[in-house]
Amino acid sequence: MKKIRPSTRDAILEAAFQTFNQRPGASLGDVAKHAGVGRATLHRHFSSREALMTALAKTAMEELNTAVDAAVVDATSHSEGLRLALTAIIPLANRQWFLAHELVDRDPAIAAAYKRDTEELVAEIEAARAEGTFADDVPTKWIAETYENLIYGAWTMVRDGDATASQAATLAWRTLTDGLMGDQK
Amino acid sequence: MKKIRPSTRDAILEAAFQTFNQRPGASLGDVAKHAGVGRATLHRHFSSREALMTALAKTAMEELNTAVDAAVVDATSHSEGLRLALTAIIPLANRQWFLAHELVDRDPAIAAAYKRDTEELVAEIEAARAEGTFADDVPTKWIAETYENLIYGAWTMVRDGDATASQAATLAWRTLTDGLMGDQK
DNA sequence: CTCATATGAGACATATATGTCTCATGAAAA
DNA sequence: TTTTCATGAGACATATATGTCTCATATGAG
């Protein structure tokens, strides 16, 4: 087995994440250029644009699950689990978000994995609700929606240099549970 | 002045909103088909894809400003103004969001108008903060980010039939101010 | 009715993206 | 050293999108 550049595939994936995040319609030539490889090499690793997209989705979800599992292992409650997961997800949000928009529908396997992840989030929210973390009259769907959107907002803050990942995570969790009201503390 | 179909332009714009929202990279042929017009007719109204995009951005911002102005006119405080504006924006969120992602940067006029709107939101938040609506230690940038992301979440709920626009607006405002915690009411 | 014009259909050239292929190169393995 | 193979460069054919153009049609204005 010979591999002059074992990282070629990873370099392409990394460049693809960055490129498609800025411009979802970017050409494979752009991706190859950003990766510092020839366009033909990209096709040697990913036979088609479709294949590259699928690999990106797979990679993003694996990274996400790994990070969340590692972060949640020490949680002492479902509520704390949600808080720790949120913190762990923020640095990966850029990788996760662009696939959620329209990439998921293509590959059935990806769609199934995504659905499974969403159901896990919903289950976790239900469990946290039982701990008193969320009001009874708020739909779980809304909590999940807010959870995900706050992550995106937190990642935006970090990306723009307006907060550290830790600060953004604290703000997001505080917003989710207590809101941002001032006087009626 | 003669106009057999005065609504042709509007039909194209409407179809473009829907089509590009589902698939930002959709072709002009797709847009024309959804609008029920010939591809040539689309070019008669919008000389290029760029021109169409600019028109979409202009239309979306005009609609937004009109709706917000109408909603806010009766507000008795800056805080209530933010709440009413949020409610008014939700039904238009689909028109507003896809342009914020990468459309704005192209046309300087659009970019300037968008920047002006953002600055208005920030100023409004600052004013509402003075009324005690937001805690002093929360960055205005985060409040603005959360405000916008909650609107998107609310619109998603409405789109998927999980809530009415009114219900979603109530949830969003409640989340922004009080959060979703259950026990510590 | 007659005329002007917005429209649909479609041909056309051009540009860009895609995927395949070949060939030379250079680095690692033998 | 020689051999092997991933790579970069680039040619190539194909597909799709874009923008322009022509022509026939139909509708509203006069």
Q: Let me know whether B6 and B88 are in one domain.
A: no
Burial of B2 (0-12, 13-18, 19+ CB in 10 A): exposed
How many contacts (CB atoms, under 8 Å) link A and B? 118
CATH number, residue B80: 1.10.357.10
Q: Let me know whether A95 and A43 are in one domain.
A: no
Q: Which of A14-18, A180-184, B18-22, B179-183 has the lowest mean pLDDT?
A: A180-184
CB-CB contact of A56 with A99 (8 Å): yes
* pLDDT number for residue B149: 95
For B24, the domain range is 1-47
Question: pLDDT digits over A117-162, tens only?
Answer: 999 999 999 999 999 899 999 999 999 999 999 999 999 999 999 9
SS3 B91: helix
Q: Let me know whether B171 and B80 are in one domain.
A: yes
Q: How far is B40 from chain A (nearest CA, A)?
A: 24
Question: pLDDT digits over A86-113, tens only?
Answer: 999 999 998 888 777 666 667 788 888 8
CB-CB contact of A26 with A45 (8 Å): no
Q: Let me know whether A99 and A163 are in one domain.
A: yes
Number of independent structural domains in chain A: 2
Q: Let me know whether A29 and A106 are in one domain.
A: no
Q: Let me know whether B17 and B88 are in one domain.
A: no
Q: Let me know whether A74 and A35 are in one domain.
A: no
Q: How far is A63 from chain B (nearest CA, A)?
A: 24
Encode chain A in three state secondary structure: CCCCCCCHHHHHHHHHHHHHHHCCCCCHHHHHHHHCCCHHHHHHHCCCHHHHHHHHHHHHHHHHHHHHHHHHCCCCCHHHHHHHHHHHHHHHHHHHHHHHHHCCCCCHHHHHHHHHHHHHHHHHHHHHHHCCCCCCCCCHHHHHHHHHHHHHHHHHHHHCCCCCHHHHHHHHHHHHHHCCCCCCC
Question: pLDDT digits over A48-82, tens only?
Answer: 999 999 999 999 999 999 999 999 999 999 999 99
Q: Is the CB of A40 under 7 A from strand C?
A: yes
Tokens of A172: 């997001």
Q: Let me know whether B78 and B18 are in one domain.
A: no
Q: Which of B23, B102, B179 sits opposite A178 (nearest CB)?
A: B179
Q: Is the CB of B181 under 7 A from strand C?
A: no
Q: Let me know whether A41 and A92 are in one domain.
A: no
* pLDDT number for residue A34: 95
Residue B183 lies in a domain: no
Read off the pLDDT band of B1 (50, 70, 90).
very low
Q: Is the CB of A39 under 7 A from strand C?
A: yes
CA dihedral B47, B49, B52, B58 (to 10 degrees): -120
Q: State how far the Cα of B138 lies from the Cα of A162, in Å rounded to an integer.
A: 12
A10 to A15, A57, A76, B67: CA distances (angstroms): 8, 14, 35, 47
Q: Let me know whether A38 and A62 are in one domain.
A: no
Average pLDDT over residues B134-156: 94
Q: Which amino acid is at A24?
A: P
B77 to A76, A101, B127, B132: CA distances (angstroms): 43, 37, 9, 11
Whether the per-residue pLDDT at A183 is higher than 60: the answer is: no
Higher pLDDT, B138 or B99: B138
Average pLDDT over residues B127-155: 94
* pLDDT number for residue A6: 57
Q: Which of A38-52, B57-71, B105-119, B150-164 has the lowest mean pLDDT?
A: B105-119
Task: Name the E strands within B14-163.
Answer: none
Residue B5 lies in a domain: yes
Residue A183 lies in a domain: no
Q: State how far the Cα of A85 lies from the Cα of A97, in Å rounded to an integer.
A: 16
Q: What residues have CB less than 8 Å from B112, skipping those under 6 apart?
A: none
Looking across all nucleic acid strands, the nucleotide with the smallest C1' to CA distance from residue B9 is C6
CB-CB contact of A52 with A28 (8 Å): yes
Q: Is the CB of B106 under 7 A from strand C?
A: no
* pLDDT number for residue B3: 46
Q: Which residue has the tokens 């939700």?
A: B90
Q: Is the CB of A50 under 7 A from strand C?
A: yes
Looking across all nucleic acid strands, the nucleotide with the smallest C1' to CA distance from residue A3 is D6
Q: Which of B20, B112, B8, B125 is nearest to B61 (CA)?
A: B112
Q: Which of A25, A162, A181 sits opposite B134 (nearest CB)?
A: A181
Q: Let me know whether B133 and B64 are in one domain.
A: yes
Give the distance, in angstroms, between residue B45 CA and nucleotide C11 C1'.
Answer: 21
Task: Please report residues of A whose CB lies closer than 8 A to that of B152.
Answer: 149
* pLDDT number for residue B96: 84
Q: State how far the Cα of A176 lies from the Cα of B109, in Å rounded to an integer.
A: 36
Q: State how far the Cα of B63 lies from the Cα of B60, in Å rounded to an integer.
A: 5
Residue A179 to residue B183, Cβ atoms within 8 A:
no
Q: If you measure CA to C1', which residue is closest to nucleotide D7?
A: A41
* pLDDT number for residue A185: 42
Average pLDDT over residues A10-35: 94
Mean per-residue pLDDT of chain B? 89
CB-CB contact of B141 with A162 (8 Å): yes
Residue B109 lies in a domain: yes
Q: What residues have CB less than 8 Å from A73, skipping those under 6 apart?
A: none
Residue A184 lies in a domain: no
DSSP B24: T
Residue A116 lies in a domain: yes
Q: Let me know whether A98 and A11 are in one domain.
A: no
Task: Give the number of residues written for chain B.
Answer: 185
Q: Which residue has the tokens 């026990």?
A: B183
Looking across all nucleic acid strands, the nucleotide with the smallest C1' to CA distance from residue B37 is C8
* pLDDT number for residue A3: 45
Of the residues B13, B29, B47, which one is the last residue of a structural domain? B47
Residue B83 lies in a domain: yes
CATH number, residue B42: 1.10.10.60
Q: How far is B108 from chain A (nearest CA, A)?
A: 19
Residue B108 lies in a domain: yes
Q: Which residues 39-98 on A are within 7 A of strand D at the CB atom?
A: 39-41, 44-45
Whether the per-residue pLDDT at B2 is higher than 50: the answer is: no
Average pLDDT over residues B27-53: 95
Other Cβ atoms closer than 10 A to B115: 11
Q: Which of B81-85, B90-94, B96-100 has the lowest mean pLDDT?
A: B96-100
Q: Which residues 51-80 on B are within 7 A of strand D at the CB atom?
A: none
Read off the pLDDT band of B39 (50, 70, 90).
very high
